[in-house]
Chains A and B, each alone.
Chain A
Amino acid sequence: MAEMDAAARSLNCPAELQGLRDGVLHVLRHVLRDKTMADDLCNETFRVVLERLRQQPLEEPEKLAPFLAQTARLLARNAQRAEVRRRTFTGQQQAIDEFGDPEADPSAVSQAQARTDAVQKILAELPTVRDREILVRVYLRDEDKDQVCRDLGIDDAHFRRVVFRARERFKALLDKRYRAADLYCFAVSL
Chain B
Amino acid sequence: MTDITQAEYELIRRYLANGLTEEEELMVTTRIIRDPQFRQEVEVTEALRYGFRELERSGKLASLLQSRAGRRPRVPMALAAAVIVAVSGGVISYFVSYRRNVPPPEVEIETLRFETTRGDARADVTWKASGRPVQLELVFDVGSSPAGSYRVILRSSDGTQDTTALDQVVETAPNGEVVVLLDGTPVKPGYYDVTLEPLPAADRGAIVNYTLQIQDGPGE
Contact = CB atoms under 8 A, between A and B. Distances in A.
Contact of A124 (B25, B45, B74, B117): B74
B113 interface: yes
B52 A69 contact: no
Interface bracket on A:
35 or more
Main secondary structure of the interface of B (DSSP, over half): helix
B47 interface: yes
B43 A140 contact: no
Given A23-B39, A120-B60, A190 B32 contact: no
A128 B176 contact: no
A78 interface: no
Given A23-B34, A186-B43, A139 B9 contact: no
B56 interface: yes
Nearest to A167: B44
Given A26-B43, A127-B177, A187-B47, A158 B55 contact: no
10 contacts: A23-B36, A27-B29, A30-B46, A116-B51, A123-B55, A125-B76, A127-B175, A136-B61, A160-B144, A161-B141
Given A23-B33, A163-B9, A187-B47, 15 more contacts: A20-B33, A23-B36, A65-B33, A73-B26, A112-B54, A115-B50, A120-B60, A120-B64, A127-B179, A139-B45, A155-B117, A167-B45, A174-B47, A186-B47, A187-B43
